[in-house]
Amino acid sequence: MHSSLARKTVLITGASSGFGAATALAFARQGAHLILGARRVDRLEQVAAEARKLGAAAADLHSLDVSKTSDVNSFAAWLRGRSEKVDVLVNNAGGAMGLEPVLDGKDDDWETMMQTNVLGVLRVTRAILPLMLKNPGSIIINIGSVAAHTAYEGGAAYCAAKAGELQITRALRLELCGTGVRVGTVDPGMAETEFSVVRFKGDEARAKKVYEGVQPLKAEDVAEAILWVASRPAHVNIDEMIIKCTDQAAIHKVNRRPVK
């Protein structure tokens, strides 16, 4: 238990599944006040109900589409009616669409990846930062990826988007120096969430193959890392953290056991 997080206001985007949902539950166990956003409100309601059972001081939710400025601004206006400050902002909403080489790439997929992983982080940060600047020690944790650090075939747009997220984090680190507001990125490798089902547009069998013979990260592993970053003392800033499963030494070096 990190008593420093009790009653802290923790805003998590993309809290309806995967890392976001697991992070909400991890902060709930610390007695935090959760602010949850995503497009699937029914799923947010389930996460919030579980969070309250686990000990969250409160769990408020509102629909949020980070790909639309108007939506982000409405979310921020709703939030200002509930809390005067934000202590922890987890910019987690995002994901990949498709795995085609550039030659076969789809505009819709490229645009979605840029809108969520890059512009979404910018929009949400712009809207929420005023609630953090008067609150030294507050922290922004962006969720990047190993894809920000290494390119792979079929990943051009996703790798570009996550590299964009990494550079946004680095620029913010410079801009916020002297304000007391911290910022960093947590960059996971392969983790079994809804990520691949979304990437392959509902093809569950193809998504399962990504993790075949491997023990990937679980959402809870990443949530624990996020909780740890957020619970460092106010004078400590974790700039960049890469977290991978033991079976994944690099994007192209994955230990796979034979499948029986």
Looking at the annotation, which residues are catalytic?
158
Residue from 93, 141, 146, 222 that binds ligand 8X3 (CB under 6 A)? 146
Contact 126, 170 (CB under 8 A): no
DSSP secondary structure of 112-173: HHIIIIIIIHHHHHHHHTHHHHTSTT-EEEEE--GGGTS--TT-HHHHHHHHHHHHHHHHHH
Shortest approach of ligand 8X3 to residue 260 CB, angstroms? 25
Distances, alpha carbon 26 to alpha carbons 97, 141, 173, 209, 252, in Å:
28, 15, 25, 28, 31
Residue from 16, 145, 169, 231 that binds ligand 8X3 (CB under 6 A)? 145
Shortest approach of ligand NDP to residue 191 CB, angstroms? 4
Shortest approach of ligand 8X3 to residue 237 CB, angstroms? 23
202: left (phi over 0), alpha (psi -120 to 50) or beta: left
Q: Does 188 bind ligand NDP (CB under 6 A)?
A: yes
Distances, alpha carbon 65 to alpha carbons 55, 167, 197, in Å:
27, 22, 19
What tokens appear for 131 in the block? Answer: 């609630």
Q: Name the DSSP class of 39.
A: S
Dist CA 122 CA 127 (whole Å): 9
Distances, alpha carbon 226 to alpha carbons 13, 133, 134, 146, 245, in Å:
13, 21, 23, 16, 16
Dist CA 148 CA 259 (whole Å): 30
Q: Is 102 helix (H, G, I), strand (E, B) or coil?
A: helix
By C-beta, is 5 or 90 nearer to ligand 8X3?
Answer: 90
Q: Does 125 bind ligand NDP (CB under 6 A)?
A: no
The site partner of 251 among ligand 8X3, ligand NDP, none (C-beta below 5 to 8 Å per kind) is ligand 8X3
Q: Is 98 helix (H, G, I), strand (E, B) or coil?
A: coil
Q: Does 185 bind ligand NDP (CB under 6 A)?
A: no
Q: Does 251 bind ligand 8X3 (CB under 6 A)?
A: yes
Shortest approach of ligand NDP to residue 101 CB, angstroms? 20
Q: Which listed range, 4-12, 114-122, 143-151, 236-244, lies at the site for ligand 8X3 (CB under 6 A)?
A: 143-151
Q: Which listed range, 13-21, 28-36, 100-108, 128-136, lies at the site for ligand NDP (CB under 6 A)?
A: 13-21
The site partner of 94 among ligand NDP, ligand 8X3, none (C-beta below 5 to 8 Å per kind) is ligand NDP
Residues from 222 through 251 that contact ligand NDP (CB under 6 A): none
By C-beta, is 93 or 190 nearer to ligand 8X3?
Answer: 190
- Summarize as ranges the residues that interact with ligand NDP (CB under 6 A): 13-14, 16-20, 38-40, 43, 64-67, 92-95, 116-117, 143, 145, 188, 190-191, 193-195, 198
